[in-house]
């Protein structure tokens, strides 16, 4: 008997801790704590406190009766009762155990069980605070900054916040695995052809089954995977996007199938992948519906789940096994993937380069160099590139693979060259250029 490798390879390879560990004090955890992250849907936050876990920290998020949102450490600093049992009042949250009252920013406002003349209690109220984090409620998502106060960055303004003719539906999807596994999928345009086109039948449209020509771009902390496919007489350019550390967009899931002209259609989702702890993460996002996004009929809970993961989340084991979606693909790797056991190939280039960059940025931060923010200057608007363009360019008597790849590169250049323009100008410019180029046979 020869060549059975089971025994030899039976030891589970290690995970890459430098990118997968995000608890307080870890390198990657520190790195992630330099950015604003969505932590909850606005609709989840009320005067009934909610316990959440983000970056390995147990937190309680609540609203005062005056509508102010607080995000605080879960345990009361008196004797550690959970503030999830607290009562929300005008000025803050009151611990159930001995009635201490905390403001949304963690100030100890009252210690009612102690003598009102107690110097010790007065001193504590003055000098100590419950751990809290700044929050911003924005279009149905609550964002928090969990890093050092002196490094507080601008709340980044992405152009996707303002795309006209888009209805944004906030959604939240839980994954039972490490955040890197979920993030990887955005830099892996090939998986759509297999997972979403072949393994599980057609989850989006037939056009996705074509593998296409890949081109990856690394532009500062923006990573793009451009996949250009031939679908009969059409060339379909689809761009997946990651802006470090965890902002993601892609083309549309259902609006584009490669069979109809589309100029610079925008992403199905504007989404952040946020670690809950090392073995869980959440995608917090807006599903983007309307003329520039996916059809309004998908603006349902199930629609968002299908756009996010290829399939609805709540299915039987039999259904999941028969038609796996992204959740099955990424959770099946185990709660933290054994990265050292991977064999990365040229199609994994996007995955390789962004992970490498995160490793480098975490190392730099360990040495005291703060990581770059997506927004360079106050007032800037970050131009994003996730999109779908479909052009009618019938096959000619030339090498079509090279040709369509060059069409993809031309479209990307057009997008990049227009980044200095305002959102509206840029959209109009790209759309009219694409239409003119297509019609005039410029490709």
- Residues near ligand FES (CB under 6 A) are 76, 78-79, 81, 95, 97-100
Given the complex with ligand FES, which of 17 and 80 has the nearer CB atom? Answer: 80
Segment 66 to 105, residues that bind Fe ion, using CB under 5 A: none
- CB-based contacts of 338, cutoff 8 Å, min separation 6: 12, 13, 14, 15
Note the Cα 404 to chain centre separation in Å.
29
- Residue range at the interface with Fe ion (CB under 5 A); choices 269-277, 320-328, 368-376, 418-426: 320-328
Distance set, CA 242 to CA 67, 185, 188, 333 (Å): 33, 10, 11, 21
Given the complex with Fe ion, which of 70 and 189 has the nearer CB atom? Answer: 189
Signed CA dihedral, 73, 149, 21, 24: sign only: negative
Q: Name residue 249's beta-bridge partners.
A: 241
Given the complex with ligand FES, which of 76 and 185 has the nearer CB atom? Answer: 76
Q: Which does 98 bind (CB under 5 to 8 A by kind): Fe ion, ligand FES, none?
A: ligand FES
Q: Report, in Å, the least distance between residue 180 CB and Fe ion.
A: 15
Using CA atoms, how far apart are residues 421 and 295, in angstroms rounded to an integer?
Answer: 27
Residue 308 is a binding residue for Fe ion (CB under 5 A): no
Given the complex with ligand FES, which of 53 and 98 has the nearer CB atom? Answer: 98
Q: Report, in Å, the least distance between residue 225 CB and Fe ion.
A: 12
Given the complex with ligand FES, which of 129 and 315 has the nearer CB atom? Answer: 129
3-state DSSP assignment of residue 56: coil
Q: Report, in Å, the least distance between residue 119 CB and ligand FES.
A: 19
Residue 326 is a binding residue for Fe ion (CB under 5 A): yes
Using CA atoms, how far apart are residues 393 and 230, in angstroms rounded to an integer?
Answer: 9
Residue 278: closest CA among 208, 360, 178: 178
Residue 305 is a binding residue for Fe ion (CB under 5 A): no
Query: Contact, 327 vs 333, CB < 8 A?
Result: no
Q: Which does 190 bind (CB under 5 to 8 A by kind): ligand FES, Fe ion, none?
A: none
| Structure token pair of residue 189 | 């345009």
Q: Report, in Å, the least distance between residue 111 CB and ligand FES.
A: 8
- Residue range at the interface with Fe ion (CB under 5 A); choices 22-30, 45-53, 58-66, 177-185: 177-185
Using CA atoms, how far apart are residues 259 and 376, in angstroms rounded to an integer?
Answer: 39
Given the complex with ligand FES, which of 97 and 161 has the nearer CB atom? Answer: 97
Distance set, CA 121 to CA 80, 94, 115, 150 (Å): 16, 16, 8, 29
Q: Report, in Å, the least distance between residue 9 CB and ligand FES.
A: 51
- Residue range at the interface with Fe ion (CB under 5 A); choices 281-289, 319-327, 365-373, 428-436: 319-327
Q: Which does 326 bind (CB under 5 to 8 A by kind): ligand FES, Fe ion, none?
A: Fe ion
Burial class (CB in 10 A: 0-12, 13-18, 19+), 386: buried
Q: Under the rule (CB under 5 A), what is the footprint of Fe ion? A: 185, 326
């Amino acid at each position: 008997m020869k060549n059975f490798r089971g025994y030899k390879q039976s030891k589970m390879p290690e995970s890459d801790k430098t990118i997968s560990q995000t608890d307080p004090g870890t390198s990657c955890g520190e790195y992630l704590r330099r950015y604003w992250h969505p932590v909850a849907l606005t609709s989840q936050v009320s005067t009934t406190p909610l316990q959440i876990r983000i970056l390995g920290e147990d937190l309680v998020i609540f609203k005062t009766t005056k509508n102010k949102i607080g995000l605080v450490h879960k345990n009361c600093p008196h004797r550690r009762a959970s503030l999830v049992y607290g009562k929300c009042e005008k000025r803050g949250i009151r611990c159930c155990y001995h009635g201490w009252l905390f403001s949304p920013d963690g100030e100890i406002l009252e210690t009612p069980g102690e003598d009102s003349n107690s110097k010790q209690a007065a001193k504590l109220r003055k000098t100590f605070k419950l751990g809290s984090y700044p929050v911003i409620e924005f279009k149905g998502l609550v964002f928090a900054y969990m890093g050092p106060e002196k490094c507080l960055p601008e709340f980044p303004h992405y152009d996707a916040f303002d795309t006209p003719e888009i209805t944004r539906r906030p959604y939240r999807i839980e994954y039972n695995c490490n955040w890197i596994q979920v993030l990887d999928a955005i830099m892996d345009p090939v998986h759509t052809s297999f997972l979403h086109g072949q393994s599980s039948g057609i989850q989006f449209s037939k056009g996705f089954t074509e593998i296409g020509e890949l081109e990856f771009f690394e532009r500062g902390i923006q990573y793009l995977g451009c996949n250009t496919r031939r679908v009969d007489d059409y060339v379909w350019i689809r761009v997946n996007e990651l802006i470090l550390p965890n902002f993601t967009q892609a083309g549309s899931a259902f609006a584009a199938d490669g069979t109809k002209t589309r100029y610079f259609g925008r992403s199905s989702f504007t989404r952040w992948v946020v670690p809950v702890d090392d073995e869980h993460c959440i995608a917090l996002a807006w599903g983007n519906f309307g003329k520039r996004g996916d059809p309004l009929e998908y603006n349902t809970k199930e629609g968002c789940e299908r756009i996010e993961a290829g399939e609805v989340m709540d299915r039987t084991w039999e259904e999941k096994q028969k038609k796996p979606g992204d959740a099955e693909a990424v959770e099946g790797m185990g709660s933290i993937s054994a990265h050292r056991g991977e064999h990365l190939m040229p199609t994994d280039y996007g995955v390789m380069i962004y992970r490498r960059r995160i490793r480098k940025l975490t190392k730099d931060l360990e040495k005291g160099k703060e990581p770059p923010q997506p927004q360079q200057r106050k007032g800037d608007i970050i131009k994003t590139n996730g999109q779908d363009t479909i052009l009618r360019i019938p096959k000619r008597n030339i090498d079509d693979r090279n040709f369509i790849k060059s069409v993809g590169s031309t479209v990307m250049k057009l997008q990049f060259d227009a980044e200095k323009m305002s959102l509206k100008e840029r959209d109009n410019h790209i759309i009219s250029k694409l239409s003119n180029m297509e019609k005039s046979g410029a490709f």
